[in-house]
């Protein structure tokens, strides 16, 4: 009641108009600048701070979880700690810039591209209720308890404001047949979601069909990290399946399943190619008339039209199998020219009603009558590694060998292209 009405009105007109009047000057702010607000601040919102940080060349946005408008009064210690950390970071950066040699950013990006990663599409719903998404390989797990994951998004990405101010996001890990979707979500296409099948998850975030795994998250924390922001999500719900993931390294996609099929197809004539097919914790076997159990196997990988091949035998029994990673390669001790190649894979329950097909729980495999001692030994290893979720590749013969990578990578000419960077492509 003692406030001057005219002065109050003039002050709030200044608040309303000043940002617009001076927004273009932020581009000239060369000094490091911190734009900080609370996640629950409805006056100086996180979206406003993120927008200003994007305009300033050395701007950083910090959103303090759970804080409201007067956070400097309500939580002075938390605010002071964040400011001091920012000042220390700015001071260290200045010292390093003065003392260090010139930094080759492009070569740094090429070096980062040497790390083989998966490929994800990160999705959310913006303030207008529209789905948004970008391709990224900067994804990792953070914590099991609580369940936390993180992804990175470039500050200059078109979707940065939507993701930095959203309530959550979903990480969709792509399968090897989803290269086209990866390319579209890494582009500036107008309607990226028109190219994929998707549905809202429990949190409302878009979940992309056909993904190897999906993590539906609430936004736990937004962390400023140079020219990127780190989105830390608390996993609310997740799904996964046995499909083959899409890989990325040195500017090129990597499809491990297809490369392994190529290896089996090029194997010498007479090579036995088999597979350990899993379905919901059970392994598929064929039971013989004598009561013994065999894994699906054939002469070469072949095709559905070659009855003696692995694919031919699976097709004859209407088994819809997904061939996965290489698992074991061995030669007969008595006949080194005879090679055995086995894969891991997944299978849907057959509908043919074939009386020979048996699904056996993994922990009961040791009880089975298996004629081939090498296959029996391989299955014992599979049960152990399946329990630990840590698989290797056996190479040797039926008597002795070692679990190791199949072969060292061949040297190749450098590919001058870096990793997928958070929607920048």
Q: Tell me the pLDDT tens digit for each residue of 99-157.
A: 556 767 777 777 877 777 889 999 999 999 999 999 999 999 999 999 999 999 999 88
Out of 252, 273, 289, a domain closes at 252
Domains held by the chain: number: 3
Which has the minimum average pLDDT: 54-63, 158-167, 208-217? Answer: 54-63
What's the pLDDT at 293?
A: 96
Q: Could you give the CA distance from residue 277 to residue 345 in angstroms, rounded to a whole number?
A: 5
| CATH number reported for the structural domain that contains residue 47 in this entry | 3.40.50.1820
- Report the mean per-residue pLDDT for the chain: 82
Q: How confident is the model at residue 199 (pLDDT cuts 50, 70, 90)?
A: very high
Whether residue 306 is contained in a domain is answered as yes
Residue 146 domain-assigned (yes or no)? yes
Average pLDDT on 32-56 reads 85
Structure tokens at 240: 């996964």
What pLDDT shows up at residue 334?
Answer: 66
Q: Are residues 239 and 264 in the same domain?
A: no
- Do 317 and 266 lie in one domain? The reply is yes
Q: What is the pLDDT of residue 325?
A: 79
Better-predicted residue by pLDDT, 317 or 395: 317
In the block, which residue shows the tokens 């990226």? 192
Query: Would you say residue 163 lies in a domain?
Result: yes
Per-residue pLDDT of 416-425, as tens digits, reads 223 344 443 3
Contact (CB, 8 A) for 172 and 179: no
Between CA 40 and CA 26 the distance in angstroms is: 25
Question: Which distant-in-sequence residues (6+ apart) come within 8 Å of 377 by Cβ?
Answer: none
| 256-312 tens-digit pLDDT | 666 666 666 667 777 899 999 999 899 999 999 999 999 999 998 888 999 999 999
Backbone CA torsion sign across 118, 119, 125, 127: positive
How far is residue 75's CA from residue 35's CA, in Å, rounded to a whole number? 17
Same domain membership, residue 354 and residue 225: no
The pLDDT, as a whole number, for residue 48 is 81
User: What distance in Å separates the CA atoms of residue 261 and residue 301, rounded to the nearest whole number?
Assistant: 8
Residues 241 and 143 in one domain: yes
Contact 318, 350 (CB under 8 A): yes
Contact (Cβ atoms closer than 8 angstroms) between residue 218 and residue 233: yes
Band (44; pLDDT cuts 50, 70, 90): confident
The residue among 51, 71, 68 whose CA lies nearest residue 59 is: 51
Count, residues in the chain: 425
* Three-class SS state of 328: strand
Residue 35 is assigned to a structural domain of this protein: yes
Q: Do 314 and 346 form a contact (C-beta atoms < 8 A)?
A: no
- What is the pLDDT, as a whole number, of residue 30? 80
Residues 147 and 84 in one domain: no
Same domain for 224 and 122, yes or no, is: yes
Distances (CA, A) of 371 to 291, 385, 395: 10, 22, 21
Give the pTM: 0.53
Planar angle of CA 374, 310, 242, nearest 5 degrees: 85
Same domain (yes/no): 43, 85: yes
In a domain, 423, yes or no: no
Q: What is the pLDDT of residues 47-78, one digit of tens each?
A: 888 878 877 888 888 888 889 888 989 999 99
Q: Which pLDDT belongs to residue 6?
A: 82
Return the minimum-mean-pLDDT range out of 17-21, 121-125, 323-327, 368-372. Answer: 17-21
Establish if 408 belongs to a structural domain. Answer: no
In a domain, 136, yes or no: yes
The last residue of one of the domains, among 221, 252, 283, is 252
Asked if 149 and 215 touch (Cβ cutoff 8 Å), the reply is yes
pLDDT above 60 for 80:
yes
Q: What is the pLDDT of residues 171-196, one digit of tens each?
A: 999 998 899 999 999 988 888 999 89
Question: pLDDT confidence of 160, banded at 50, 70, 90?
Answer: very high
Looking at the fold, whether 161 and 234 belong to one and the same domain comes out as: yes
Between CA 59 and CA 31 the distance in angstroms is 8
Q: Find the CATH number of the domain harbouring 358.
A: 3.90.79.10
Concatenated DSSP letters for 175-197?
Answer: BTT-HHHHHHHTTT-S-GGGGS-
The 8-class DSSP code of residue 245 comes to: B
Confidence class of residue 92 from pLDDT cuts 50, 70 and 90?
confident
Residue % of the chain over a pLDDT of 70: 83
Same domain, 18 and 92: yes
Percentage of the chain surpassing pLDDT 90?
Answer: 39
pLDDT at 350: 66
Three-state secondary structure call for residue 407: coil
What is the dihedral angle through the alpha carbons of 234, 238, 240, 245, rounded to the nearest 10 degrees? -40
Could you tell me how many helices (H) and strands (E) the chain has, helices first?
10, 23
Both tokens assigned to 86 = 């920012």
What confidence score (pLDDT) does residue 406 get? 34
Number of Cβ within 10 Å of residue 424's Cβ equals 17
Banded model confidence at residue 400, pLDDT cuts 50, 70, 90: low
- Same-domain status, 348 and 237: no
Q: Beta 272-279 vs 120-125: how paired, if at all?
A: unpaired
Looking at residue 185, which CATH number applies to its domain? 2.30.110.10
Residue 27 belongs to what domain range? 7-97
């Amino acid at each position: 009641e003692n406030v001057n009405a005219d002065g109050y009105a003039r002050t709030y007109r200044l608040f309303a108009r000043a940002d617009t009047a001076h927004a273009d000057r932020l581009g000239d702010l060369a000094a490091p600048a911190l734009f900080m607000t609370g996640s629950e601040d409805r006056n100086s919102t996180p979206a406003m701070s993120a927008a200003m940080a994007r305009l300033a060349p050395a701007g950083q946005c910090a959103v303090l979880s759970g804080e409201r408008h007067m956070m400097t009064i309500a939580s002075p210690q938390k605010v002071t700690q964040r400011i001091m950390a920012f000042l220390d970071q700015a001071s260290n950066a200045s010292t390093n810039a003065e003392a260090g040699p010139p930094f080759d950013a492009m070569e740094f990006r090429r070096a980062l591209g040497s790390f083989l990663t998966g490929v994800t599409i990160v999705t959310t719903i913006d303030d207008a209720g529209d789905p948004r998404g970008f391709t990224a390989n900067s994804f990792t797990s953070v914590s099991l308890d609580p369940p936390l994951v993180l992804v990175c998004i470039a500050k200059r990405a078109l979707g940065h404001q939507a993701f930095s101010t959203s309530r959550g996001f979903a990480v969709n890990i792509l399968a090897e047949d989803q290269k086209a979707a990866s390319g579209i979500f890494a582009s500036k296409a107008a309607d990226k979601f028109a190219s994929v099948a998707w549905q809202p998850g429990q949190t409302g975030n878009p979940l992309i069909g056909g993904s190897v795994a999906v993590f539906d998250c609430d936004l736990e924390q937004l962390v400023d990290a140079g020219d990127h922001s780190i989105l830390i999500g608390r996993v609310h719900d997740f799904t996964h399946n046995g499909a083959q993931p899409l890989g990325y390294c040195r500017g090129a996609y990597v499809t491990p399943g297809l490369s392994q099929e190529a290896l089996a197809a090029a194997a010498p004539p007479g090579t036995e190619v088999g597979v350990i097919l899993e379905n919901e914790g059970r392994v598929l076997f064929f039971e013989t008339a004598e009561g013994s159990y065999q894994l699906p196997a054939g002469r070469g990988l072949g095709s559905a039209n070659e009855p003696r091949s692995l694919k031919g035998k699976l097709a004859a029994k209407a088994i819809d199998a997904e061939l996965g990673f290489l698992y074991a390669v061995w030669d007969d001790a008595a006949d080194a020219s005879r090679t055995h190649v086995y894969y891991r894979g997944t299978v849907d329950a057959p509908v043919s009603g074939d009386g020979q097909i048996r699904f056996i729980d993994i922990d009961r495999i040791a009880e089975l009558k298996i004629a081939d001692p090498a296959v029996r030994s391989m299955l014992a290893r599979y049960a152990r590694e399946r329990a630990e979720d840590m698989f290797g590749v056996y190479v040797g013969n039926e008597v002795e060998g070692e679990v190791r990578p199949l072969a060292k990578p061949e040297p190749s000419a450098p590919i001058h292209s870096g990793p997928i960077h958070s929607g920048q492509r």
